[in-house]
Structure 1
């Protein structure tokens, strides 16, 4: 063992385990990002950290920040370089936080980090930095070893996004039970002036009382309502003879028609398709008529979907259901 490679601070005559392997393992788990604080936490002296990382060819990302030579570059690594080097509160934000939380499939082209206003932080590679006066330690959680805004703080950081994108994201987090409208509103109440936060407040107040399972369901209900169909923008409970009951996504109550939007992401596996068939079969014991709506048909052949809905309405009216309610007329 070379002199500068000996465990630092060990009394003469004692043979303590070398702390470097533990530090090396921790660095690999942290996407290859190391700094003197991580070294000290694992018993490696700061001077030894600098000497050995230089000798082994660790790249210098920022002053004091070294990258492990055997860990590949990643979005998480770049985010950590920024958050570790700020010296203050910093966390992945906006769509980047949504990606880390599993709310979107791919990271954004330009990942972002939010920092407190007093921090002296700069961008690194493709990672941008924006300041958030409202940011506190309570707004930050660790996801995939990366400091990340909590769900409600992530929503607040995204208030400059178009309202329809905010609506879709809010529907997802509410349906998954990741946050409640009351928790979001409490953060908004505790936050000073933030441009755009009134839009998030309005969306919370609108969507909070509703039970919406997906943005596809929301789009179907809102579009039909705009065309004159009495579509409920919330799930609806239907009683069945076995007492189990059904919950349909979008109900046309006057004619007892249950619209079932079927997105590709939720109806792909054999198990999911089997559950769908069981749901459709359960309607046989009721006077409701299910109308499945395929996501691709809705996007590419909407007239076909609307024709199917109109045909179901006509059939129900022939059975005497909803005869007092005229269906909307489409051009």
Structure 2
């Protein structure tokens, strides 16, 4: 009898030994494996050769074989926060074996059920759990990559700084804990990029600077904007323009239109590019203080604190 192997395996490109041998005798399946028509991904899990090159297929196979959930870098990749790594990370309950297989790094934990989510049907640890897991065991990732993942997770509302901080609370001995807590504090205050973090620490909070609110929402002419930093006292907005995003002509034109709309309701906008803000922070502070003082005189606030 001739079998249509792709049909037997199914549209996902992988299946289990149990499912195959329920329809085909073991000798035939073993012959497919020996001949290279099927490849063993994990114990009891087999795939068509083309499917084995698909990272997601390898994650599904590892999760199925280990009875766990995708975690660490693999979870962050599934959440769209990092590119996939060469190894697949899976977390299982603490009573399970901690031995992984080729290409699979296995982690054990006593606290798993409350952090399991699903991405396109695949069990995966929550964003905040994956971030903290990777922060403590980066596995070759640079801290800059992990910081970017945390910032993107908060900016895209996959989690909140408070969510991550609660997860950090479970790890009193987490390596680099103080740096992560400081990052979360800045994110909680409204920073949404490394440039905004730099600007907050080195410019907006410099000596003699007025008080600013980060990510202040405002609606003008039916359009809603978020001001990077806003001094309510004198309606002064500070925008921190990243080189990649604000370098295009179209974006510059949008910025000009936005600033003009804000001016119609009394707001003055100061814009600082990445290069100037990071190389001349004192000059940026001087400009802000000067405009703030002029706005105070304009608003009749001299002598009023």
TM-score w.r.t. the length of structure 1 is: 0.67
- For the Cα contact (< 8 Å) 2:51–2:57, is it kept in 1? no
Distance (Å, rounded) in 2 between the aligned partners of 1:134 and 1:300: 45
Distance 1:65 1:216, change over 3 A: same
- For the Cα contact (< 8 Å) 1:221–1:233, is it kept in 2? no
Distance 1:291 1:325, change over 3 A: farther
Instruction: Please list, as runs of the form range in 1=range in 2, the aligned pairs for 1:304-323 lying within 5 A after superposition.
Output: 305-313=284-292, 315-316=294-295, 319=298, 323=302
Distance (Å, rounded) in 2 between the aligned partners of 1:85 and 1:323: 71
Distance (Å, rounded) in 1 between the aligned partners of 2:256 and 2:25: 63
Q: Which residue of 2 aligns with 1:10?
A: none
Q: Which residue of 2 aligns with 1:173?
A: 153
Distance (Å, rounded) in 2 between the aligned partners of 1:183 and 1:123: 29
Q: Which residue of 1 aligns with 2:231?
A: 252
1:36 to 8, 17, 33: 17
Distance 1:253 1:126, change over 3 A: farther
- Is 1:70 aligned to 2:50, yes or no? yes
Distance 1:246 1:153, change over 3 A: closer
Distance (Å, rounded) in 2 between the aligned partners of 1:227 and 1:318: 22
Distance (Å, rounded) in 1 between the aligned partners of 2:18 and 2:166: 35
Distance (Å, rounded) in 1 between the aligned partners of 2:200 and 2:229: 6
Q: Which residue of 2 aligns with 1:329?
A: none
- Secondary structure of 1:131's counterpart equals strand
- For the Cα contact (< 8 Å) 2:239–2:270, is it kept in 1? yes
Distance (Å, rounded) in 1 between the aligned partners of 2:104 and 2:249: 40
Which structure's CA Rg is the greater one? 1
Distance apart, 1:258 and its partner CA: 0.7
Distance 1:169 1:27, change over 3 A: closer
- Note the alpha carbon deviations across 1:25-49, whole angstroms, 9 max, x for none: 4343xxxx54325647xx7447254
- For the Cα contact (< 8 Å) 1:83–1:113, is it kept in 2? yes
- Secondary structure of 1:227's counterpart equals coil
Q: Which residue of 2 aligns with 1:214?
A: 193
1:280 to 212, 235, 259: 259
Unaligned runs of 5+ in 1: 6-17, 327-331
- For the Cα contact (< 8 Å) 2:165–2:181, is it kept in 1? no
- For the Cα contact (< 8 Å) 1:156–1:200, is it kept in 2? no
- Note the alpha carbon deviations across 1:46-89, whole angstroms, 9 max, x for none: 72544433334433344333342234635435444533332x22
1:112 to 52, 66, 89: 89
Instruction: Please list, as runs of the form range in 1=range in 2, the aligned pairs for 1:203-242 lying within 5 A after superposition.
Output: 206=185, 210-228=189-207, 229-238=209-218, 242=221
- Note the alpha carbon deviations across 1:185-239, whole angstroms, 9 max, x for none: 77788xx666439869967995686444434323322333442323435222457
Distance (Å, rounded) in 1 between the aligned partners of 2:131 and 2:149: 8
2:109 to 120, 128, 132: 132
Distance 1:166 1:89, change over 3 A: same
Q: Greater share of strand residues, 1 or 2?
A: 2
* Paired positions, count: 298
Distance 1:243 1:138, change over 3 A: closer
TM-score w.r.t. the length of structure 2 is: 0.72
Distance (Å, rounded) in 2 between the aligned partners of 1:38 and 1:301: 65
Distance (Å, rounded) in 2 between the aligned partners of 1:152 and 1:38: 35
Q: Note the aligned Cα RMSD (angstroms).
A: 4.3
- Note the alpha carbon deviations across 1:255-281, whole angstroms, 9 max, x for none: 432111223454466664443232111
Unaligned runs of 5+ in 2: none
- For the Cα contact (< 8 Å) 1:256–1:287, is it kept in 2? yes
